[in-house]
Amino acid sequence: MKVLYVTHRMPFPPSDGARVRAFHCIDHLHRQGHEVTVAVPARNQAEMDAVPGLLAHCDRVLIDQVNAPMQSLRMVACLAGMRPSSMGYFHSRALARQIREAVQTHGFDLICVHSSSVATYVEDIADVPKLLDFVDMDSQKWLDYAGFKSFPLSLGYWLEGIKLERAERRLANRFDLNAVVTPGELASLEAIAPGSDNHWYPNGVNVEACVPAPGEAEAHSLVFVGRMDYFPNQDAVVWFCDAVMPGLRARYPDVRLYIVGADPTPVVRALGDQAGITVTGTVPEVHSWVRRATVSIAPLKLARGMQNKILEAMALQVPVVASPKPAQGVDAVVGEHLLAADSAEDWIETLSRLFDDPKERARLALAGRQRVLEKHRWDTIMQDRFEPLIARCIENFRAGKP
């Protein structure tokens, strides 16, 4: 089968959540013997330089390096119309031309799209089965942001959310099958486009690379992992440092928090001036930082989709405490495989119980890793969840659905 896979981010190396899911889909299709063409806009020269590495997992790459200032102008131009600015940002005329030519000459049997931001490249193609993986419902994310920002930013986020919701509804009805990453995102998609064929399949973990190291953890230590130029992550660590760390420090003067992730903003870097808080920036290897922690935390107030940071910590056999929203974004049972905390007082009490109870930490760590092994292995997800969706997409196309 000849497959065109369109994605909004260079999927190699699979170094963060925006790349990992697309990479494993591409790699799985290629290993199954399909001829895979990847189409992607590159944001910088480093992403262009990643093409040879990606070609080890696919057959050809259609790519154009977009100019950041020009893409920003496209976003601004979209403000006056109904096209979402995020879709304007990922548009490339050169890439659109490459995709049109490839569709006309190559005879694809299936088109897969990762993220609604690039679905417009192929939405008008009617003679090839098309699967759209929204991953997260971006419209709802922007609408969530509107509630956390002050005017006039709140108005801008609200407007983008409304425009995206309209576009998502149109796209869902123009593709033969749609997918998202969690049951919660599926509920959002069903509310937006109830007549389309909608499904979900989870993110996974490369469990072979997540090697536990029991006994390495530092006493009274916490870790937060994530890109630190991403607003929900910034909001989470700032809140945690302001609201939770003082109470923890009063009980455990040696408590430490490691904030691990690329591109910390000045606000995040300033947190490192507080006692017991380390902001690492980019690190060569994340897993060693997670293994050194007593507990991995995910105190996100803004959280949609599946949190890879939680899955990897569980796979590394490190206990996890998360806010309610991210805790619901993994296929796990709160209280059995991870713990949830909401208010600052909840966080202080929950973390204190784990700090003081090594048996509970061990139980939670073992249960979390076992759950990942059962539910979140990439090879199992691809075979048991992704492959059936491809088959259903093709069946829908042949039957003239949706």
Write the pLDDT tens digit of every residue in 251-306. Answer: 999 999 999 999 999 999 999 999 999 999 999 999 999 999 999 999 998 877 77
Measured CA to CA, the distance from residue 128 to residue 257 in angstroms comes to 50
Domains 2-204+378-398 and 221-375 share a fold: yes
CA atoms within 13 A on the CB side of 186: 13
0.75 cut: is pTM over it? yes
CA atoms within 13 Å, Cβ hemisphere of 128: 24
The helix/strand/coil state of 257 is strand
Instruction: Write the CATH number of the domain with boundaries 221-375.
Output: 3.40.50.2000
User: Which of the 8 DSSP states describes residue 377?
Assistant: B
Tell me which of 3.30.200.20, 3.40.50.300, 3.40.50.2000, 3.90.1150.10 is the CATH number of domain 2-204+378-398. 3.40.50.2000
Q: State the pLDDT confidence band at 330, using cuts at 50, 70 and 90.
A: confident
C-alpha–C-alpha distance, residues 137 and 360, integer Å: 36
Each domain of the chain, given as residue ranges in start order, spans 2-204+378-398, 221-375
What helix, strand, coil percent values describe the chain, rounded to 5? Answer: 50, 15, 35
List the single range of 16-30, 70-84, 100-114, 128-142 with lowest mean pLDDT. Answer: 70-84
Q: How far is CA 217 from the centre of its chain?
A: 27
Could you please report the per-residue DSSP string of 180-224?
ESSHHHHHHHHHH-TTS-EEE----B-TTT----TT-PPTTEEEE
